[in-house]
């Protein structure tokens, strides 16, 4: 094949139907506020904050200026055995926001890297503690923890796993938390806390003292917005404590205001031992992820190593990149100054009312929602995911960006959305549904 200049062929797009896309490309060429513009000059309302990440919307000058200034001062610093001021300041700021004792921040470049790093930190902690036999991990069906081998092995999505062989050994999956009676339940379902007993059953099967960590998204995001039943996360916490298992919350989507508080751990009042973060940490202006680690884990791994020795043999060339740290600091400053998370919490009831009003459409199979996060599930077409994919494209050409996972539209607008933006979004949903008799 001859690749020509400006051909669409050379770029292999991730998680994309490449051939279909290249027949009718959807290119974004500009972003400002809560809008994108496509290559035809049409305005697109951003209903998923990019991919759950642009909490402050697009084109925030303060963040862009901070990145630009940083790059002109120091474009790169080695990340091993040498530092620069950025991550020390950013880690302190993040640690001030995290719950309780999660005061140590390990920077990475994505959510997937955060997950793999958290798994390795869990293993390192247990080894330092004389419990090297703890090598198993427990996750959940319908979970998404990124696409590195750790995250893929934890994943509870068949499509994300089936191509890639046997994956990591020693991973056990609990059942997901979405029960039939949870259809159209707004907020936390009242039933289903007992599904957490799956963790206890796994402990009884393989030995609780062989499990390093249990990893869950507080609200499962990419797999269709599954809100945890009342008491479910508390129950996981209790079982983890009983068996000495670390509890890790994957807050890559939930973190930084999406749930109405800074972290979902605070919304649900359950404190994990580690949290994985990414996305809105920099408003997605620069790639960055992080693992927030509780004091005892840091102290155990770091203090038990011989003096002068590297304590954790793990890290990336771009860990705590100066541009990402600058973006993170500027982003956190805006969150604080504009009370972004409080405003998002205030908008949540209006947003959820609007989204749940779609219930009357015959094309809608189910709706879930919490904070500024909602899953709108359409009735499947000929094959699972087909209608969702078509709906995503139609909404886009009608002026609304919504990410679909299978048949579930993941509505997760920038936290700076106004009521008018919500109304505009709903008009577009209605227009597209009406065209299909809904």
Q: In what order do the strands lie in the sheet with 364-370?
A: 364-370, 373-378, 408-411, 403-405
- Tell me phi and psi for residue 312, to 5 degrees: -130, 115
- Tell me phi and psi for residue 94, to 5 degrees: -65, -40
Nearer to ligand PLP, 70 or 110 (CB): 110
Do 415 and 47 form a contact (C-beta atoms < 8 A)? no
Among residue numbers 105 through 164, which ones bind ligand PLP (CB under 6 A)? 110-112, 115, 144-146
Distance (Å, rounded) from C-alpha 248 to C-alpha 369?
22
Nearer to ligand PLP, 126 or 142 (CB): 142
Stretch of 247-255, 328-336, 351-359, 426-434 contacting ligand PLP, by CB under 6 A: 247-255
- Nearest distance, CB of residue 40 and ligand PLP, angstroms: 28
Nearer to ligand PLP, 217 or 377 (CB): 217
222 binds ligand PLP (CB under 6 A): yes
The residues, any chain, with a CB within 8 Å of residue 212's CB and separated by 6 or more, are 119, 122, 123, 126, 134, 135, 136, 137, 245, 246
Burial (CB < 10 A; 0-12, 13-18, 19+), residue 234, is middle
- Tell me phi and psi for residue 334, to 5 degrees: -70, -45
Nearer to ligand PLP, 146 or 399 (CB): 146
Q: What is the DSSP letter of 15?
A: T
Do 289 and 277 form a contact (C-beta atoms < 8 A)? yes
First and final C-alpha spacing in the chain: 44
- Nearest distance, CB of residue 318 and ligand PLP, angstroms: 13
102 binds ligand PLP (CB under 6 A): no
Nearer to ligand PLP, 387 or 403 (CB): 403
Q: Which of 239, 278, 329, 344 binds ligand PLP (CB under 6 A)?
A: 278
> Contacts with ligand PLP: how many residues (CB under 6 A)?
14
Do 287 and 281 form a contact (C-beta atoms < 8 A)? no
Stretch of 23-31, 77-85, 92-100, 217-225 contacting ligand PLP, by CB under 6 A: 217-225
Burial (CB < 10 A; 0-12, 13-18, 19+), residue 45, is buried
- Nearest distance, CB of residue 305 and ligand PLP, angstroms: 29
229 binds ligand PLP (CB under 6 A): no
250 binds ligand PLP (CB under 6 A): yes
**Closest by alpha carbon to 111, among 287, 272, 264?**
287
Nearer to ligand PLP, 111 or 231 (CB): 111
Nearer to ligand PLP, 225 or 329 (CB): 225
Among residue numbers 8 through 37, which ones bind ligand PLP (CB under 6 A)? none
253 binds ligand PLP (CB under 6 A): yes
Nearer to ligand PLP, 141 or 208 (CB): 141
Which residues lie near ligand PLP (CB under 6 A)? Answer: 110-112, 115, 144-146, 217, 221-222, 250, 252-253, 278
């Amino acid at each position: 094949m001859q690749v020509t200049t400006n051909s669409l062929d050379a770029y292999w797009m991730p998680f994309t139907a490449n051939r279909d896309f290249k027949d009718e490309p959807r290119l974004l060429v500009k972003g400002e506020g809560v809008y994108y513009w496509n290559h035809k000059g049409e305005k697109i309302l951003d209903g998923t904050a990019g991919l759950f990440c642009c909490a402050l919307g697009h084109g925030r000058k303060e963040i862009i200026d901070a990145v630009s200034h940083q790059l002109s001062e120091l474009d790169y610093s080695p990340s091993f055995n040498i530092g620069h001021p950025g991550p020390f300041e950013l880690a302190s700021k993040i640690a001030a926001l995290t719950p309780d004792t999660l005061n140590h921040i390990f920077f990475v470049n994505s959510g997937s890297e955060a997950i793999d790093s958290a798994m390795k930190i869990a293993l390192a902690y247990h080894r330092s503690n004389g419990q090297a036999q703890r090598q198993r991990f427990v996750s959940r069906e319908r979970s998404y923890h990124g696409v590195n081998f750790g995250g893929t092995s934890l994943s509870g999505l068949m499509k994300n796993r089936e191509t890639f062989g046997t994956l990591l050994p020693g991973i056990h999956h609990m059942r997901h938390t979405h029960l039939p009676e949870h259809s159209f339940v707004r907020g936390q379902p009242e039933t289903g806390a007992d599904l957490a007993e799956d963790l206890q059953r796994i402990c009884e099967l393989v030995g609780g003292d062989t499990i390093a960590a249990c990893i869950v998204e507080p609200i499962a995001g990419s797999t269709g917005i599954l809100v945890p039943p009342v008491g479910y996360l508390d129950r996981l916490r209790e079982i983890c404590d009983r068996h000495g298992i670390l509890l890790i919350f994957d807050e890559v989507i939930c973190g930084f205001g999406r749930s109405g508080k800074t972290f979902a751990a605070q919304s649900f009042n359950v404190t994990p031992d580690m949290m994985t973060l990414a996305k809105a940490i920099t408003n997605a202006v620069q790639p960055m992820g992080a693992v927030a680690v509780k004091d005892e884990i840091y102290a155990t791994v770091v203090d038990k190593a011989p003096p002068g020795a590297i304590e954790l043999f793990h890290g990336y060339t771009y860990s705590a990149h100066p541009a990402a740290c600058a973006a993170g600091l500027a982003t956190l400053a805006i969150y604080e100054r504009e009370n972004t998370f409080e405003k998002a919490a205030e908008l949540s009831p209006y947003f959820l009312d609007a989204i749940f009003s779609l219930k009357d459409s015959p094309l809608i199979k189910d709706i879930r929602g919490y904070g500024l996060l909602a899953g709108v599930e359409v009735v499947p077409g000929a094959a699972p995911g087909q209608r969702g994919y078509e709906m995503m494209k139609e909404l886009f050409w009608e002026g609304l960006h919504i990410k679909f996972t299978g048949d579930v539209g993941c509505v997760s607008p920038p936290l700076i959305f106004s009521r008018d933006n919500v109304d505009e979004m709903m008009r577009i949903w209605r227009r597209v549904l009406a065209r299909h008799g809904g």
